[in-house]
């Protein structure tokens, strides 16, 4: 692969990541406080829960991708380990918005600094032995998966604004 192809590869992955995050941010920015507390559909998650969930998932990417320690591990109990409404004391919406912005800014900055080879390295959730057998279980795979994860939840959120 020549340098132009490598640059295109990186730009393609990053632009899809950035687009998904930008679309989610645009949605969250357009929500009123009342909408954050509204279930997407009867019996489904509220918008605030999905904001916290996505923030926690993206925060978990840091150590998995070898980019450092987590910034918001306290979000796991609220937005990953438990379903919506299981815990009533949630962070404020402004606090969650700020955390969402901060974690995605950090991730995008760090991802943009990777070389093509770094994208294809093993992530920390796979053993060296498994990676030798399944080299597709790399950092690129994690970023592609999490990009799809944001898009999946955006599809759910679209139900609120129909």
pTM, whole model, 2 decimals?
0.95
- Give 4's Cβ-side CA count (13 Å radius): 0
Q: How many structural domains does the chain have?
A: 1
Mind giving me the DSSP string for 68-103?
A: ---S-TTHHHHHTSS-TTS------HHHHHHHHHHH
Q: Cβ(28)–Cβ(35) under 8 Å?
A: no
**pLDDT the model gives residue 33:** 87
Domain that holds residue 82: 3-158
Position 162 confidence tier, pLDDT thresholds 50, 70, 90 = low
The per-residue pLDDT for range 117-151, each reduced to its tens digit, is 999 999 999 999 999 999 999 999 999 999 999 99
**pLDDT the model gives residue 57:** 98
| Residue 138: CATH number of its domain | 1.20.120.450
The per-residue pLDDT for range 55-103, each reduced to its tens digit, is 999 999 999 999 999 999 999 999 999 999 998 899 999 999 999 999 9
Q: Which helix (H) or strand (E) holds 156?
A: helix 139-158
**pLDDT the model gives residue 42:** 87
User: What is the DSSP code (8-state) at residue 53?
Assistant: H
The per-residue pLDDT for range 11-58, each reduced to its tens digit, is 999 999 999 999 999 999 999 989 999 999 888 999 999 999 999 999
């Amino acid at each position: 692969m020549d340098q132009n192809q490598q640059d295109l590869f990186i730009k393609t992955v990053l632009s899809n990541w950035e687009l998904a995050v930008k679309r989610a941010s645009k949605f969250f920015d357009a929500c009123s406080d009342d909408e954050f507390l509204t279930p997407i559909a009867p019996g489904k998650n509220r918008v605030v829960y999905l904001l916290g969930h996505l923030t926690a998932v993206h925060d978990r990417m840091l150590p998995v991708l070898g980019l450092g320690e987590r910034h918001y591990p306290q979000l796991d109990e609220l937005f990953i380990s438990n379903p919506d409404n299981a815990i009533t004391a949630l962070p404020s919406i402004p606090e969650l918005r700020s955390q969402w912005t901060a974690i995605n800014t950090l991730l995008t900055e760090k991802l943009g600094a990777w070389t093509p080879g770094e994208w294809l390295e093993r992530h920390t959730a796979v053993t060296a032995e498994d990676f030798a057998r399944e080299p597709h279980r790399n950092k690129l795979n994690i970023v592609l998966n999490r990009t799809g994860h944001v898009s999946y939840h955006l599809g759910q959120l679209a139900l609120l604004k129909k």
